Structure 1
């Protein structure tokens, strides 16, 4: 960003918001927002607490299980929709419906089906993550150049070899879907645990709210944001490393 001829780094906007947050907290303009410096100080207490370690353990297990299910089912389903027009016509409407639907409203249904525990959170993560993975995988498969497939067949490529070629050609979109699915999965694990309110970070959020420990509450929010952004950045770096596959499709 350029301002009056000077290059301003992107982090400048974040610094402005932090300063505003500190001012609002210092003057007590909003009771829910303690000063940002207090939030940073509380972050150390949150991270070093025994309850945080247990909450993170439960949260990470739920998140990884839900995301693994989303990958195992989402990528093959996206391939099926990308390769088969009949499957695409049958499933496309449902996938887009679930992607657009307010999935938070389904969490109470999952609680009835799977109980007040980790299975409900795993299913919530899966539902939040899987649909964007399906659609991006489908988009990648459908954008593979027909000439690439014709050349593969002319050289006598078997079905496993053809699948590998399609997978590598569609890999940029697949990774984009995984990156977005990971971010949505973080949202799913937090929402699931908040509504269950007895496990993981959901229990911590409830504890801090009930005791009006807003500095600890916002410290936990910032930690979760940092985790989600870090995961997204890791996958984004992987995307950049394999971008040359996109050129091979053209």
Structure 2
């Protein structure tokens, strides 16, 4: 970012809004917005409590199971849709519909099907994440360079070799981009699932803090979730850039 001809670090914007937040909190304009320093102090105390640690384990377990299922199902389905027209015609409409649909409305239906336990949260994470993974894997496979495929055929490469050495490797950046976005959507899904369906994990803590108007801990927990989602996204994005460079060099 450039201001008056001088380059300003991106972190400056974050610091500015944190200062605004602190001032608004100190002025007590709204009781829902406590000072940022109080939120940080509450967050430091929160991570030391047994309730937060237990809730984190429950939330992390549901998130990992749901995301693993979304990747295992989404990547192969997207690759098949990109390579086989019949499968693309069968699943294309449904995938596009679920990507744009308000999935939160389906959570009560999941509660009826899977009950009030952790299984419903896992399924919710899966539904939030899988569709964007499918679409990006499909796009990556369909955008594989035709010239490389033709060159492989001209040198007598088998279909399996062309698929694994050319198509799949060239699609890896798009596949990782879909997984990165799926991770962010999965964080949203695990919180929504825990709040709306089974009040466990972070959903239980959000419910407790909102009912008791403990806004310091409420905002501290929210910021911890945002930080976790950003770190996950940044980690996958770093790996994605390395793969993209490798694919470009090839």
TM-score scaled by length of structure 1: 0.96
User: CA separation in 2, counterparts of 1:248 and 1:6?
Assistant: 35
Cross-structure match for 2:186: 185
How far apart are residue 32 of structure 1 and its match?
0.6
User: CA separation in 2, counterparts of 1:77 and 1:8?
Assistant: 44
Cross-structure match for 2:98: 98
What does 1:107-186 correspond to in 2, within 5 Å? Answer: 107-165=107-165, 166-186=167-187
Q: Is the 8 A contact 1:42 1:215 kept in 2?
A: yes
User: CA separation in 2, counterparts of 1:191 and 1:89?
Assistant: 31
User: CA separation in 2, counterparts of 1:13 and 1:163?
Assistant: 45
Alignment partner of 2:180: what SS?
helix
Q: Is the 8 A contact 2:118 2:198 kept in 1?
A: no
How far apart are residue 226 of structure 1 and its match?
0.3
What does 1:197-216 correspond to in 2, within 5 Å? Answer: 197-216=198-217
Q: Is the 8 A contact 2:121 2:198 kept in 1?
A: no
Question: What CA RMSD, in Å, does the superposition of the two structures yield over aligned residues?
Answer: 1.3
How far apart are residue 248 of structure 1 and its match?
5.7
- Compared CA separation, residues 178 and 46, structure 1 to 2 (3 A): same
Cross-structure match for 1:237: 238
User: CA separation in 1, counterparts of 2:156 and 2:246?
Assistant: 21
Q: Is the 8 A contact 1:70 1:130 kept in 2?
A: yes
Q: Is the 8 A contact 1:196 1:202 kept in 2?
A: no
Post-superposition CA distance 1:115-162 (Å, at most 9, x none): 111100000000000001000000000000122222223333334323
TM-score scaled by length of structure 2: 0.96
User: CA separation in 2, counterparts of 1:57 and 1:102?
Assistant: 27
How far apart are residue 56 of structure 1 and its match?
0.5
What does 1:63-78 correspond to in 2, within 5 Å? Answer: 63-78=63-78
Cross-structure match for 1:12: 12
How far apart are residue 196 of structure 1 and its match?
2.4
Find out whether 1:217 has 2:218 as its counterpart: yes
Structure 2, unaligned runs of 5 or more: none
How many residues are paired up?
Answer: 249
Structure 1, unaligned runs of 5 or more: none
Alignment partner of 1:243: what SS?
helix
Alignment partner of 2:30: what SS?
coil
How far apart are residue 88 of structure 1 and its match?
1.5
User: CA separation in 1, counterparts of 2:19 and 2:117?
Assistant: 39
User: CA separation in 1, counterparts of 2:50 and 2:70?
Assistant: 30
